[in-house]
Structure 1
Amino acid sequence: MKVVAVRGKMLDLRESLLNETERAVDGVVQVSGAGLFDSEERLMPLVSDYLSQQMETGLLSVASAKTYGQNLGYMLDFLKSRSEFSSSERDFCFIEAGSHAYRQYFKQLLEDEDLEGNTARNRDATLMSFMNKYLCVSSDGGPPRREHNPYAGGMLTPAPKSKLIKGCTMKELQVLIEATPYERERCLLQFIFDAGLRRSEVARVTLENVIDALKFSGVSFISQEMLIPISAGYCPIYIEGSKGRGDSTKPRHSIVSRATLLRIKKYHASLLYRMHSRKYPKPSLTPAFFNAEGEGYSPNSVSKLLERLSDRAKDRLEKPISPHKLRHGNAYAILSSPDLGADYLERLTIAQKSLGHAQLSTTEKYNQIAMDLYRKLIDDNAITISRAQEMEALVEKTWIRIRPEDKK
Structure 2
Amino acid sequence: MKVYVKEYDKIDLINSVVRAERNIDIEVLENKTVDGCLLITDGGRVIEAVSEWLTDSMKAKERAANTAREYARSIGKFLDFLSIQEINNKKSAPLTSDDYLYLLLDASKVNRHTIKTYLHIHNHEVSNQSKKLWDAALKAFYTEYICQNYPSEIINPYIKGSIFNGKNFKIRHDGLSIDELMALMIVAKDERERSLFQFWYDSGLRVQEMERVKYMDVIEALKSPTSSRSLQDDEYSYIDADYYLLYVRGTKPRNRAKFKPRHTSISKVSLTRLIRYFNNPLTNYKKNTQHIDIDERPAFLNIHGEPITKESISQMVTRRFIEAKKIGLLVNRKTLPTHKVRHGYSVSFLTSSDLFPDAIERLQALSRYLGHASITTTERHYQDIALEVQVKTSTGERVCRHEKMLNLYNKTKETAIAKTKKHYIKYVE
Describe how 1:144-183 pairs up with structure 2 within 5 A: 164-183=172-191
The answer to whether residue 352 in structure 2 is matched with residue 352 in structure 1 is no
1:302 to 313, 318, 325: 313
Inter-partner Cα distance in structure 2 for 1:316 and 1:374: 28
Partner of residue 351, structure 2: 336
Partner of residue 236, structure 2: none
SS of 2:176 mapped into structure 1: coil
How far is the alpha carbon of 1:385 from its aligned partner? 0.7
Inter-partner Cα distance in structure 1 for 2:353 and 2:174: 21
Partner of residue 55, structure 2: none
SS of 2:224 mapped into structure 1: helix
The answer to whether residue 271 in structure 2 is matched with residue 261 in structure 1 is yes
Partner of residue 410, structure 2: 396
The one-letter amino acid paired with 1:390 is K
The one-letter amino acid paired with 1:279 is H
Question: Given that residues 331 and 366 in structure 1 are in contact (C-alpha distance below 8 angstroms), is that contact kept between their aligned partners in structure 2?
Answer: no
How far is the alpha carbon of 1:163 from its aligned partner? 5.9
The one-letter amino acid paired with 1:258 is K
The one-letter amino acid paired with 1:309 is R
Question: Given that residues 332 and 374 in structure 1 are in contact (C-alpha distance below 8 angstroms), is that contact kept between their aligned partners in structure 2?
Answer: no
SS of 1:254 mapped into structure 2: strand
Return structure 1 stretches of 4+ with deviation > 3 angstroms.
219-222, 367-371, 373-378
Inter-partner Cα distance in structure 2 for 1:180 and 1:294: 16
Question: Given that residues 236 and 254 in structure 1 are in contact (C-alpha distance below 8 angstroms), is that contact kept between their aligned partners in structure 2?
Answer: yes
How far is the alpha carbon of 1:234 from its aligned partner? 0.5
Question: Given that residues 336 and 376 in structure 1 are in contact (C-alpha distance below 8 angstroms), is that contact kept between their aligned partners in structure 2?
Answer: no
The answer to whether residue 247 in structure 2 is matched with residue 238 in structure 1 is yes
Once the two structures are superposed, residues 164-217 of structure 1 have per-residue CA deviations (whole angstroms, 9 ceiling, x without a partner) of 321111111111111113011000011111111111111110011101001124
Describe how 1:124-139 pairs up with structure 2 within 5 A: none
How far is the alpha carbon of 1:334 from its aligned partner? 1.1
Structure of higher CA gyration radius: 2
CA root-mean-square deviation = 3.2
Partner of residue 210, structure 2: 202
Question: Given that residues 207 and 286 in structure 1 are in contact (C-alpha distance below 8 angstroms), is that contact kept between their aligned partners in structure 2?
Answer: yes
Question: Given that residues 350 and 362 in structure 2 are in contact (C-alpha distance below 8 angstroms), is that contact kept between their aligned partners in structure 1?
Answer: yes
Describe how 1:206-225 pairs up with structure 2 within 5 A: 206-217=214-225
Inter-partner Cα distance in structure 1 for 2:228 and 2:412: 29
Partner of residue 19, structure 2: none
Inter-partner Cα distance in structure 2 for 1:399 and 1:307: 22
The one-letter amino acid paired with 1:188 is L
Inter-partner Cα distance in structure 1 for 2:228 and 2:262: 24
Inter-partner Cα distance in structure 2 for 1:253 and 1:332: 18
The one-letter amino acid paired with 1:199 is V
The answer to whether residue 278 in structure 2 is matched with residue 278 in structure 1 is no
Question: Given that residues 269 and 406 in structure 2 are in contact (C-alpha distance below 8 angstroms), is that contact kept between their aligned partners in structure 1?
Answer: yes
Question: Given that residues 332 and 375 in structure 1 are in contact (C-alpha distance below 8 angstroms), is that contact kept between their aligned partners in structure 2?
Answer: no
How far is the alpha carbon of 1:232 from its aligned partner? 2.8
How far is the alpha carbon of 1:366 from its aligned partner? 2.7
The one-letter amino acid paired with 1:297 is I
The structure-2 alpha-carbon separation of the partners of 1:368 and 1:166, relative to structure 1 and needing over 3 Å to count, comes to farther
Question: Given that residues 332 and 366 in structure 1 are in contact (C-alpha distance below 8 angstroms), is that contact kept between their aligned partners in structure 2?
Answer: no
Question: Given that residues 220 and 232 in structure 1 are in contact (C-alpha distance below 8 angstroms), is that contact kept between their aligned partners in structure 2?
Answer: yes
Inter-partner Cα distance in structure 2 for 1:267 and 1:212: 16
How far is the alpha carbon of 1:367 from its aligned partner? 3.4
Inter-partner Cα distance in structure 2 for 1:220 and 1:248: 31
The structure-2 alpha-carbon separation of the partners of 1:169 and 1:313, relative to structure 1 and needing over 3 Å to count, comes to same
Once the two structures are superposed, residues 83-114 of structure 1 have per-residue CA deviations (whole angstroms, 9 ceiling, x without a partner) of xxxxxxxxxxxxxxxxxxxxxxxxxxxxxxxx
How far is the alpha carbon of 1:350 from its aligned partner? 1.2
Question: Given that residues 377 and 385 in structure 1 are in contact (C-alpha distance below 8 angstroms), is that contact kept between their aligned partners in structure 2?
Answer: no
- Paired positions, count: 231
Once the two structures are superposed, residues 113-168 of structure 1 have per-residue CA deviations (whole angstroms, 9 ceiling, x without a partner) of xxxxxxxxxxxxxxxxxxxxxxxxxxxxxxxxxxxxxxxxxxxxxx9x95632111
SS of 1:215 mapped into structure 2: coil
Question: Given that residues 363 and 383 in structure 2 are in contact (C-alpha distance below 8 angstroms), is that contact kept between their aligned partners in structure 1?
Answer: no
The one-letter amino acid paired with 2:287 is M
The answer to whether residue 329 in structure 2 is matched with residue 316 in structure 1 is yes
Question: Given that residues 171 and 384 in structure 2 are in contact (C-alpha distance below 8 angstroms), is that contact kept between their aligned partners in structure 1?
Answer: no
Inter-partner Cα distance in structure 2 for 1:275 and 1:356: 34
How far is the alpha carbon of 1:261 from its aligned partner? 0.7
The structure-2 alpha-carbon separation of the partners of 1:382 and 1:368, relative to structure 1 and needing over 3 Å to count, comes to closer
The one-letter amino acid paired with 2:241 is A
Once the two structures are superposed, residues 232-283 of structure 1 have per-residue CA deviations (whole angstroms, 9 ceiling, x without a partner) of 310010010114225742111011111111111111111121111201022x
- Percent of aligned pairs sharing the same letter: 33
SS of 1:345 mapped into structure 2: helix
The one-letter amino acid paired with 1:316 is L
Partner of residue 32, structure 1: none
The answer to whether residue 398 in structure 2 is matched with residue 384 in structure 1 is yes
Inter-partner Cα distance in structure 1 for 2:267 and 2:288: 26
Partner of residue 197, structure 2: 189
SS of 1:256 mapped into structure 2: strand
Question: Given that residues 252 and 356 in structure 1 are in contact (C-alpha distance below 8 angstroms), is that contact kept between their aligned partners in structure 2?
Answer: yes
The one-letter amino acid paired with 2:414 is I
The structure-2 alpha-carbon separation of the partners of 1:211 and 1:348, relative to structure 1 and needing over 3 Å to count, comes to same
The structure-2 alpha-carbon separation of the partners of 1:172 and 1:377, relative to structure 1 and needing over 3 Å to count, comes to farther
